[in-house]
Amino acid sequence: MSKLERNWQYAEQYPGETEAQMRARRLSLELGIEPVSRSTAAHLSGVAALSRARAICEIGTGVGVSGLSLLRYDNEATLTSIEIEPEHLREARTVFADAGIQSSRLRLIEGDALHVMPRLNLAAYDLVVLDANPTELLDYFEHALTIVRPGGCVVVPGAFSHGRVPDPAARDEATQALRDLLALVADSPAIASMLSPAGDGVLTLVRQAG
């Protein structure tokens, strides 16, 4: 194992999680849902805390692993989360309730994010997380820029597409969408971008004011 691999493995094992997060992670695996890794979950918690995000929007609820991470350190933060699979959303409601998250802090929406996001208020969110169908990532991102406030963050977990993004031989639609987004934000003076190797890669973007 190389030094970089040991570093990555250590970083994956380092973060602690709440009992609610661990239960949600186990449930995800039972249902065949791939949850964000422990280090990615910690990244989401950290970005939410650093940015003091009070209004958070998430595309791709799953059963609540990411949502619990986003709400972990602020008892007043609210989460709007969009999920296209009704079974996943039903499980997520139970997960959040069992974790003691008040219903007044949650707005769980069943539907296609591309239909829901245009109806959300402009510049209303401090943090937007895009963790859904990667083939539609560029469309999600376009909408995310309209609903996140200036100075707010957009976070994209899974930015390496299971290691395919750095592989020039990988040319599937999802991988190419991620490459296109990475190229787009790298050249934009309106966005500050940070790419972390946590988990399967986490792209963090800050919408610059002005």
What span, in angstroms and rounded, lies between the C-alpha atoms of 114 and 193?
23
Which architecture does CATH list for 3-207?
Answer: 3-Layer(aba) Sandwich (3.40)
In the prediction, which pLDDT does 209 show? Answer: 83
Q: What digits encode the pLDDT tens for the residues 152-194?
A: 999 999 999 999 999 999 999 999 999 999 999 998 999 999 9
Please tell me whether the overall predicted TM-score, pTM, comes out greater than 0.85 for this model: yes
pLDDT higher than 80, residue 118? yes
Confidence of residue 22 (pLDDT cuts 50, 70, 90): very high
Least confident of 1-5, 27-31, 99-103, 136-140: 1-5
CA distances from 76 to 17, 36, 53, 105 (A): 20, 23, 10, 7
